Amino acid sequence: MTLLKPAQKHGKLFLNPVPTQMFSLRTILKVLPLFLMGREEREPKQPLGPFSTDAGIYSTPPVSGLRVTWFGHSSSLIEIDGLRVLVDPVWDLRASPYRWFGPKRFFPPTLALEDLPRVDVVLISHDHYDHLGERTVRRLAQLQPTVRWVTSLGVGRWLRRFGVATERITELDWTQSAEIAGPQGPLRITSWPSRHFSGRTGLDRFKTLWAAFVVEGPQHRIYYGADSGYWEGFAEIAAQYDGFDLTMLEIGAFHPLWAAIHLGPDGAARAFAAMGGNDRAGLLMPIHWGLFNLALHAWRQPIERMSEIARERAWKLWSPQPGEPTEVVRGQALLFDWDGK
């Protein structure tokens, strides 16, 4: 029986594709002393960067046909087969409902929203604050009013509230696709199940959907895992396609106590192996780290552990400098040197 099917509900609440234990009082009681007494360097002691994006690069199409600019955490601009897809953009100062409190960026945006090139699609995986920035959406809706917004079921209400026109929004259920016309042929974005949750207010958990996505052009294909714990669906999703050029998997904001909803480096390795490793899943791009303090680990621990695993397994990682538009070339690994920058 396939695990890949449209989302199911219990009443008004969406369900995970497999049974998933969420946070409990016992978990909170275990985490609290770790949060108060832990000595990990959860935020950089010295300012990172400065990182900046040369917007002039976008005037020239990528030679390879695929170029990605990683802005930190899960925000990226994907240039694929003649189209531009902006993924989970968060230019906000904090991943929080408040301007004065909550996880603060480790470094400023590498370019202003006003300097972004014309975007064809904005892809929003789910409604958590580190993936859907209200101030970012409001400004983008003003700057690029004709852009297409593709997101998960129910998230459109937030986009509309933040100023996006209803007719520009496409909401997808798991297994559904949206197509965008492009100069080289259509771009297909398909929603696939992930093992996570949703909510922005504390009272709306599970009321909107969360998802992973495959972004597929005429020549290139990317798997964007967004947020997920490990589950057997990774292998089944990969089996629907003839390989990927780039597989983007989360490695940060992790702790064993919530392994059911976040991969962490070891979970990402398990998922990548299930998807076929470099042979079928292409280059492994670690995401969801390096910008916000959202867990108990040291801020650099995710990429250090992921790099260690990659060396052990002879995998090729693709982890560029923040803000640097970088060509994705099959088989060519890349690892930004945070110490030697």
Strand 246-250 and strand 283-287: the pairing is parallel
- Report the amino acid identity of residue 83: L
pLDDT tens digits for 301-327?
Answer: 999 999 999 999 999 999 999 999 999
* Residue 180 DSSP SS3: strand
pLDDT at 1: 74
Residue 341 has pLDDT above 60, yes or no: no
pLDDT at 21: 84
| Predicted TM-score of the model (pTM) | 0.96
Quick check: 238 and 274 in contact, CB under 8 A?
yes
pLDDT at 34: 61
Residue 12 has pLDDT above 60, yes or no: yes
Residue 239 has pLDDT above 80, yes or no: yes
The pLDDT > 70 percentage for the chain reads 95
The pLDDT > 90 percentage for the chain reads 87
Q: What is the mean pLDDT of residues 60-71?
A: 97
* Residue 135 DSSP SS3: helix
DSSP collapsed to 3 states, the chain: CCCCCCCCEECCEECCCCCCCCCCHHHHHHHHHHHHHCCCCCCCCCCCCCCCCCHHHHHCCCCCCEEEEEEECCEEEEEECCEEEEECCCCCCECCCCCCCCCECCCCCCCCHHHCCCCCEEEECCCCCCCCCHHHHHHHHHHCCCCEEEEECCCHHHHHHCCCCHHHEEEECCCCEEEECCECECEEEEEECCCCCCCCCCCCCCCCCCCEEEEECCCCEEEECCCCCCCCHHHHHHCCCCCCCEEEEECCCCCHHHCCCCCHHHHHHHHHHHCCHHHHHCEEEEECCCCCCCCCCCCCHHHHHHHHHHHHHCCCEEECCCCCCEECCCCCCEECCCCCC
Long-range contacts of 28-36 (CB under 8 A, 24+ apart): 30/257, 31/255, 31/257, 31/296, 34/296, 35/296
pLDDT at 260: 94
Q: Note if the bond before 50 is cis, omega within 30 degrees.
A: yes
pLDDT at 166: 98
Residue 125 has pLDDT above 90, yes or no: yes
Quick check: 29 and 222 in contact, CB under 8 A?
no
Distances (CA, A) of 185 to 180, 214, 246: 9, 16, 20
pLDDT tier, 24 (very low <50, low <70, confident <90, very high otherwise): low
Q: What is the mean pLDDT of residues 92-112?
A: 95
Residue 27 has pLDDT above 90, yes or no: no
Q: What is the mean pLDDT of residues 139-150?
A: 98
Q: What is the mean pLDDT of residues 130-134?
A: 98
pLDDT at 83: 98
Which CATH superfamily includes the segment(s) 59-335?
Answer: Ribonuclease Z/Hydroxyacylglutathione hydrolase-like (3.60.15.10)
pLDDT tens digits for 249-272?
Answer: 999 999 888 899 999 999 999 999
pLDDT at 73: 98
pLDDT tier, 229 (very low <50, low <70, confident <90, very high otherwise): very high
